[in-house]
């Protein structure tokens, strides 16, 4: 299992200090393998006991076992294996630890599922997802832009579900909407790139996908969202299973 998979699995028991430490670990994996628990606590302005509680929440007996996990689970991906790593090793492995029963129950009971993507590719993927939901008899609406999202805010109630897809999970002009959904107790499902971000931390259910940029002509980096499509398809299949089982 990857560190990202462990974070997803235990996300509901992680506090703010835990997330601060994990952000540092994710950004400094090679360094973490060489430092002591006291040095990590100092670097993250926390305490040795806070770090120890965190690694135990993730299922490790102590910090040494956590460092060994980082060492054995971290490998540099070769260019020819990056897509496989993003899909199978990272994204799909992470999905195996999601609490699907609770999430699919919430989607099944929702009056309307509102889908919003922060970019063109995300909206296209969610638009296909919404069309598939209609085949299950679920009312789904894809909101095409920020203006219409703002107009729809009054219609969205706690009996609905908002599905939000983003790459960074930090799109600034959506944060106010997320805050309002939180105040109104509107269930929010976020699908973002792996790692701590605003969208995920304010969601009832946070799903993650992995994207490894790769070079094309003149060393220009591009990012493929095929893993986002996989997560959304996985979600649809799990919902289909749930609705078939409950009939």
Phi and psi torsions of 59, nearest 5°: 100, 10
Measured distance CA(228)–CA(86) in Å, rounded: 10
pLDDT band at 246 (very low <50, low <70, confident <90, very high): confident
Say what the pLDDT of residue 223 is: 72
Say what the pLDDT of residue 22 is: 92
Looking at residues 180-209, what average pLDDT do you find? 93
Say what the pLDDT of residue 213 is: 66
Measured distance CA(205)–CA(192) in Å, rounded: 11
By the 8 A CB rule, do 6 and 14 touch? Answer: no
Closest C-alpha among 171, 34, 193, 10 to residue 22: 10
Measured distance CA(220)–CA(90) in Å, rounded: 24
Looking at residues 179-202, what average pLDDT do you find? 93
Question: pLDDT by residue (tens digit) across 112-145?
Answer: 999 999 999 999 999 999 999 999 999 999 999 9
Question: Would you say residue 215 has pLDDT above 70?
Answer: no
* Residue that has been written with the tokens 């939180």 in this structure: 182
Percent of the chain with pLDDT over 70: 89
CA angle 220, 221, 224 (to 5 degrees): 135
């Amino acid at each position: 299992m990857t560190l990202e998979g462990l974070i997803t699995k235990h996300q509901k028991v992680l506090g703010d200090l835990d997330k601060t430490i994990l952000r540092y670990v994710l950004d400094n994996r090679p360094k973490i393998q060489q430092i002591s628990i006291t040095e990590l606590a100092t670097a993250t302005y926390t305490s040795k006991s806070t770090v120890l509680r965190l690694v135990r929440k993730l299922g490790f007996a102590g910090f040494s076992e956590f460092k060994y996990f980082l060492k054995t689970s971290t490998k540099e991906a070769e260019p020819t294996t990056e897509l496989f790593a993003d899909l199978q090793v990272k994204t799909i492995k992470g999905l195996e630890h999601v609490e699907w029963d609770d999430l699919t129950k919430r989607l099944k009971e929702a009056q309307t599922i509102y889908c919003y993507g922060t970019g063109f590719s995300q909206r296209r993927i969610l638009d296909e997802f919404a069309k598939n939901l209609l085949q299950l008899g679920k009312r789904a609406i894809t909101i095409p832009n920020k203006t219409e999202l703002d107009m729809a805010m009054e219609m969205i109630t706690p009996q609905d579900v908002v599905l939000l897809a983003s790459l960074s999970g930090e799109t600034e002009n959506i944060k106010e909407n997320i805050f309002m959904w939180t105040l109104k107790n509107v269930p929010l499902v976020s699908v973002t790139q792996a790692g701590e971000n605003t969208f995920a931390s304010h969601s009832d259910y946070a799903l993650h996908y992995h994207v490894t940029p790769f070079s094309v002509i003149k060393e220009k980096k591009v990012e493929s969202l095929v893993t986002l499509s996989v997560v959304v398809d996985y979600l649809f299949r799990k919902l289909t299973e749930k609705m078939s089982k409950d009939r």
